Amino acid sequence: MESTKKENIRNFDFEALKATLEGLNEKAFRAKQVYEWLWVKNAGSFEEMTNLGKDLRAKLERHFFIDKISLKDQQISNDKTIKCAFEVEENKVVEGVLIPTTSRMTACISSQVGCSLSCTFCATGRLKLMRNLTAGEIVDQVVYLKNQSENRYQQNLSNIVYMGMGEPLLNYKNVLRSIELITSENGLGMSPKRITVSTAGIAKMIRKLGDDDVKFNLALSLHAANDKKRRRIMDINDTNNLEELSEALKYFHEKTGARVTFEYIIFRDFNDAIEDAQELAAFAKCVPCKINIIEYNPIDDGEFQQARPEKVNAFAAYLESKNLIVNIRRSRGKDIDAACGQLANKNKAIAKEERVLKSV
């Protein structure tokens, strides 16, 4: 007897799900019930769908599976940041982080298992790219961190940033589908204005965001505003240089009217001089923007170090003197390797061992 290959039911949009269930001789209204279980109630199994008959649940089990992620490990920082290691299909692991501050609760989520871009300052870049995450696996991270925010800290999740593991624009279809589900009334119902997608800079995909008239925020990981320096720390600059990115950002802004965020990790004696600030100010004229200066979080090789506070302040002051909107972002979750650029699937045992060795 030929076996039916199960399909991932969360890969179906509502209309496709309805058509598929009708093809299995089910009434159209069943699609709405199943869809609600998947995206509003976040069911992890068909058995949980208690308003469906036993026969229908068995039929769903025969034909479909749910690509649910599971929590493998969790660490809580001294500053209340929570880092979660999530296990996905084939025992692969991705990380998501809940970042609490006085004004917001932010979920930082991953879009890929590993990363292909190899930025020299980023721990995730040391991992090879294993695969894209599905839309369902991305949404699951948000749901888990949202529940942590509500249950542990009694606060609603206020923001989502696609700044975890992976390059979101290299998983374009699933990232946009996940945002559709997060913002849909039939999903989490969150405003797209509270979602930011961060890219290392892929010009043609930035243009595509403009063509698709996206409503969420776009951030560009810039980190240097001249090609020579940027190429040294980000290989992607070889194929997406600053001139190409500038033109793509202009196109994006013309299509969407949205302001762009430039992310600038500031490294000691590399990109922290006033000359670097002058170059950044000149580049930032290409579109209406704000600039986030980000404190560097050292990783194992020690190639880069944190910039001195007085240099950071002078850098920011220069940009502000040019009428640019500037925020200095302090790192959170450093003691559990949860800060920006540190996500590399370190478990508790490894992290504890490293802290012991550093203290010896």
Count other C-beta atoms under 10 Å from residue 19's C-beta: 12
289 is catalytic: no
Q: What is the C-alpha separation between 268 and 228, in angstroms, rounded?
A: 17
CB 108 within 8 A of CB 100: no
* Catalytic option among 84, 108, 119, 340: 340
Determine how β-strand 112-113 pairs with β-strand 131-132. Answer: antiparallel
Catalytic residue among 95, 137, 167, 295: 95
Give the contacts of 316 (CB within 8 A, at least 6 positions apart).
Answer: 293, 326, 328
DSSP of 239-303: TS-HHHHHHHHHHHHHHH-PPEEEEEEEBTTTS-SHHHHHHHHHHGGGSSEEEEEEE----TT-S
Rounded CA-CA distance 95/109 in Å is 7
Residue 204 CB-density burial (10 A; 0-12 exposed, 13-18 middle, 19+ buried):
exposed
Pair 177, 162: CB distance under 8 Å: no
Measured between alpha carbons, how far is 350 from 267 in angstroms, rounded to an integer? 26
* Nearest to 33, CA basis, from 8, 60, 11, 6: 60
Specify whether 95 is catalytic: yes
At CA 293, angle to CA 292 and CA 297, rounded to 5?
120
Provide the sign of the torsion angle of the four alpha carbons 39, 45, 49, 54, taken in this order. positive
The separation between CA 154 and the C-alpha centre of its own chain, rounded to angstroms, equals 23
CB-CB contact of 266 with 308 (8 Å): no
* CB-CB contact of 162 with 172 (8 Å): no
Place of tokens 């000149």: 282
Which residues are known to be catalytic? 95, 340
